[in-house]
Amino acid sequence: MTKTRNSGALQYKSFGLVLQALVILAKKGDTCSSCEIAELLSSEATLLRRTMTKLTREHILVTREGRDGGYLLNRAPEELTLAEIYLALEVGESRNKAVKDTMCINAFGEQMKAACGDVLEEMDRSVLNVLEQYTLADMVRKAGC
Residue spans of the domains in the chain: they are 7-142
128-141 residue pLDDT tens: 999 999 999 999 99
φ, ψ at 131 (rounded to 5°):
-65, -25
Fold of 7-142: Arc Repressor Mutant, subunit A (1.10.10)
pLDDT of residue 92: 55
Please give the pLDDT value at position 25. Answer: 97
Low-confidence ranges of the chain (pLDDT < 70): 1-12, 91-98, 145
DSSP state of 99: H
